[in-house]
A and B are shown apart, each in its own frame.
Chain A
Amino acid sequence: MSTALYTQLLYLVCGGLLLTSVLTLWRRELSALIRLLTAQGVLLAALAALLGTQDGGLELFAVAFGVLLLKAGVLPVVLRRVLVDSGAARETQPLVNVPSSLLAAALLTLLAYAVSRPLVDLDPTPTTHAVPVGIAMVLLGFFVLVTRRRALSQVIGFLLLDNGIAATAFLVTAGVPVIVELAVSMDLLLVVLVLQVLTARLRAAFGDTDIDELRELRD
């Protein structure tokens, strides 16, 4: 693949990643959020495969396949099962309305560019120039996590944040060593399974899984 084509495809994929993150602030239906998360998983796998064409080894293609399986296959299935069980199809009113959220997204993206200057400066290649996208995805995921009230949308925020970290890892170093990658994926899967059980328990204990209901424990 020529460098020019590679660079164009890379920026296309990164643009898609950022777009899916921003769209999660716009949509409120939980089922739509899960679809966006699935799309982001596919793009993340595409990113790994794209880096694999430059790297030459087969390892990154294997990682790409793993990412596809986990982030576009297993995790969305688990989330959908939680959604079906809970029966609440729509997101409650978020703490911040959509226009302000989108404004915040713009500011967070600018912040990501400012913060990641040293990261790009250390090794300025076409790939590392896309690092701010990864950092922006982390910040946007964090924003979703703190401004949404449903238990499931908090899980989605956490997964968006995690996708941002995975994207950053691919962009700066073409992924971490495989042993670490495996351990990380394993942990992520287990965390989501734990959260799945917990949403069921939250519902059993508090009725609806609105985080604002959690007021049992205070000083």
Chain B
Amino acid sequence: MTSTGTGAGTGGLAEVLLIGVPLAAPLAAAVFARARREPSRAAGWVTLAAAVAILLAGTFAAALTVGGDELTWGSILRIDALSAVMLIVIGSVGVIATWASIDYVADELASGEVEAHDIRRYATLVPAFLAAMVLAVLANNLGVQWAAVEATTIVTAFLVGHRRSRGSVEATWKYVVICSVGIALAYLGTILVYYAARQTSIPEHGALDWTQLVAHANELDPGVMRIAFALLLLGYGAKAGMVPLHSWLPDAHSQAPAPVSALMSGVLLPVAVYVLIRYRVIAVEALDPTFVRNLLLVIALASLVLATSLIIAQRDYKRLLAYSTMEHMALVMLGLAVGTPLAIAASLLHILGHGLAKAVLFCSAGQILLLERTTRIDGVRGLLSRHPALAAVFAVGFLALLGLPPFSLFVSELGLARAAAADGLGWVIAVALGLLVIVFVSISAHLTPMILGSVPDTGEPAGLKTAAPLVGGLLVLAVLGVVAWPVDQLLHTASLIGGTR
């Protein structure tokens, strides 16, 4: 009846390790943090080790799947090149965020604003969050995948509400209610996919397996699949910060602790997009491809316009970062709308680049907040003269985010433009580029006085904390923008899985 036991044990030891380790490592870290009475740096280091384990597993899995192979564990878990890319994204953003967490937590505890048991809960939930995202990426069974995405909402609820201020309670409430409703709609969509699959030649136990659904996609009933895909797009779109269920995003990102914002922006939203990439492959086979494309285009362009309009007059730098996340996810969704292998490859590279840049930016913004005690843009002036190292990382991170060469976001945005132009969507590119120029100008205008402006007082310059991962992240971004070889072949294989034609 259930899908267990159908192909269990198909993999060798290496495959089982590659699938088991990225799941087990963060769970073990969560148990370790839970078991310790007092908050300690050790829990932070163990979580960092778990993130490194995910990154390593992703890299090894990438080496094994780059030729188009796949690793499976029963019919429930599976790694192909596309999931390997996502594992690498989770691992690399996770390393930056969990590394920065160690100092962040120590500072917070020293400031006396949170208590020891809050810190302990934080240390338990962050690795659990990583584990839930890994499960969502590895799941081949779409029902299990849904449950994993929903689990991310539950786990992050008390991370967003880490501090108990009015603002953070409000943000948490909106986050849980809106995302739960969104994900409930996605569940309805999943059920309808299951219903459609049961009327085809797919065996009952495999009717929610992505591999089976892709193989039999053209047998699925278009009438049911049309409703299902719309619901899935609405539901997982809510988790990806797309309109119309986007309003949780700026609140949650601005209220969550900086490393958690980094993880949500850099990984959680892309995981929701990843789920949509998987569903899109089924939908374009089962439905009229122009229907799928138009639906994605409408959602992506509406989100892009909304994010741009809210960036223009933004007064809070953490909300500015949140809306910029929305803007970049909208660009990735445009890539999905185009849907050719080139567009999917560019989207995946964009996810990786954006994740790294945002992780660096949120973590350095967290340090700025600790020093300046305000999130208002006009409350921060002349950072470069007062805290040169921190200001430099923050500024360079923004240059990367705005898509300037040599950083990889330049390459991926160019790739998206080329893919869309090649597929007759030139007008979309014109609109998107126009909006990107507006974003570029407004962010530069917001940022210049923050970084360069006149100095109100000259206090003791604060050094950059956890410099290694932040500078390292920027270096990787620059390297990825200049030489393509580390990920080129992997992205190509992944794009053939997620792209059509």
Residues of A within 8 A of B (CB): 57, 59, 115, 117-119, 121-123, 138, 142, 145, 151, 154, 158, 161-162, 165, 168-169, 172-173, 176-180, 183-184, 186-187, 190-191, 194-195, 197-198, 201-202, 204-206, 211, 214, 216-217, 219
Residues of A near B153 (CB, < 8 A) are: 191
List of B residues within 8 angstroms of A169 by Cβ: 191
Given the interface contacts A178-B1, A183-B144, A217-B251, does A158 sit within 8 Å of B191 by beta carbon? no
Residues of B within 8 A of A138 (CB): 188
* A120 nearest CB across to chain B (Å): 10
A216 and B1 contacting across the interface, CB-CB below 8 Å: no
Residues of A within 8 A of B141 (CB): 179-180
B176 & A191 in contact (Cβ 8 Å cutoff): yes
**CA gap between A168 and B189 in the complex, in Å:** 11
**Contact A145 to B181, CB < 8 A, known contacts A187-B150, A205-B164:** yes
The count of chain B contact residues (Cβ–Cβ below 8 Å) is 60
Q: A173-B198, A194-B176 are in contact. List 20 more A-B contacts (CB 8 A).
A: A121-B223, A122-B195, A123-B199, A142-B181, A145-B177, A154-B177, A165-B187, A173-B194, A177-B2, A177-B207, A178-B1, A179-B2, A179-B141, A183-B143, A187-B154, A191-B154, A198-B172, A205-B170, A216-B166, A219-B315
| Contact indicator B195/A173 (Cβ below 8 Å) | yes
The residues of A that contact B194 with a CB separation of less than 8 Å are 173, 176
Q: What is the interface of chain B mostly: helix, strand, loop, or mixed? A: helix
A-side contacts of B171, CB under 8 Å: 217
With both beta carbons as reference points, the residue of chain B lying nearest to A215 in the complex is identified as: B170
On whether the beta carbons of A119 and B224 are closer than 8 Å, the reply is yes
B20 is an interface residue with CB less than 8 A from chain A: no
For A151, what are the chain B residues with a Cβ–Cβ distance below 8 Å?
Answer: 173
B188 and A201 form a contact (CB under 8 A)? no
Interface contact tally, CB-CB below 8 A:
148
Q: How far is the CA of A138 from the CA of B192 in the complex (A)?
A: 14
Return the CB mask of B147-164 against A: 1 if under 8 Å, else 0. Answer: 100110110011001001
Task: Report if B442 contacts A (CB, 8 A).
Answer: no
- CB of B208, distance to nearest CB on chain A (Å): 7
B243 CB → nearest A CB, Å = 15
Contact with A along B324-363 (1 / 0, CB 8 A): 0000000000000000000000000000000000000000
- Chain B residues with a Cβ under 8 A of chain A: 1-4, 76, 141, 143-144, 146-147, 150-151, 153-154, 157-158, 161, 164-167, 169-174, 176-177, 180-181, 184, 187-188, 190-192, 194-196, 198-199, 205, 207-208, 221, 223-224, 226-227, 250-251, 254-255, 310, 313-316, 319
Contacts of A158 in B (CB 8 A): 177, 180-181, 184
Q: Given the interface contacts A123-B199, A198-B157, does A165 sit within 8 Å of B188 by beta carbon?
A: yes
Tell me the complex Cα distance, A206–B191, Å. Answer: 38
CB contact between A59 and one of B1, B170, B187 (< 8 Å): that residue = B1
Q: List 19 A-B contacts (CB under 8 A).
A: A117-B223, A119-B224, A122-B195, A122-B223, A165-B184, A172-B192, A173-B191, A173-B194, A176-B190, A177-B1, A179-B3, A179-B76, A187-B147, A197-B158, A198-B157, A198-B176, A211-B173, A219-B313, A219-B315
CB-nearest residue of chain A relative to B189? A165
B485 shortest CB reach to chain A, Å: 40
A154 to B76, CA, bound (A): 34
